[in-house]
């Protein structure tokens, strides 16, 4: 009987530990977008810029990364195509945002994110 209780306690303990570790892994994975990895920063900055300029977004830019290059594509209400390119080699990450081929923004990601943060926090 003592053996069964000990075994049961061990199984419950191992299950609890496994559950705790899986929760940590999912939390760490979720921190990528929050921590400001390059691709996420470029995507967020492109959306901030489009909204700042008054564009109505139909499909937010979807981004892919190949080596250190990021490319995004989205669409505006009315059919205009949004393209974004960026380089995540060194900070501050440079990016270019175009709407139907016309350059809307060419500069660094961080200044866009900073401006948007100040606007939403009431600073500046």
pLDDT at 30: 41
- List the structure tokens of 60: 């937010």
pLDDT at 32: 40
pLDDT at 2: 63
Is residue 37 exposed (0-12), middle (13-18) or buried (19+ Cβ within 10 Å)? Answer: middle
Domain boundaries, the chain: 1-34, 36-121
Is residue 79 exposed (0-12), middle (13-18) or buried (19+ Cβ within 10 Å)? Answer: exposed
pLDDT at 93: 95
What is the pLDDT of the chain when averaged over all its residues? 81
Task: Give percent above pLDDT 70 in the chain.
Answer: 69
**Residue whose tokens read 């960026």:** 86
Task: Please check whether residue 107 is in contact with residue 93, taking contact to mean a CB–CB distance below 8 angstroms.
Answer: no
DSSP 17-52: HHHHHHHHHHHHHHHHHHHT-HHHHHHHHHHHHHHH
**Residue whose tokens read 């270019």:** 96
Tens of pLDDT, residue by residue over 11-51, are: 455 544 444 444 444 344 444 444 458 999 999 999 999 99
């Amino acid at each position: 009987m003592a053996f069964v209780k000990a075994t049961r306690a061990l199984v419950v303990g191992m299950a609890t530990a496994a559950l705790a570790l899986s929760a940590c892994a999912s939390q760490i994975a979720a921190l990528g977008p929050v921590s400001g990895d390059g691709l996420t920063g470029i995507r967020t900055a492109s959306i901030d810029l489009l909204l700042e300029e008054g564009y109505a977004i139909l499909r937010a830019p979807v981004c892919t990364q190949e080596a250190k290059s990021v490319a995004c594509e989205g669409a505006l209400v009315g059919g205009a195509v949004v393209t974004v390119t960026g380089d995540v080699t060194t900070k501050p990450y440079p990016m270019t945002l175009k709407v139907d081929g016309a350059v809307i923004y060419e500069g660094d990601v961080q200044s866009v994110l900073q401006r948007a943060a100040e606007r939403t926090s009431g600073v500046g």
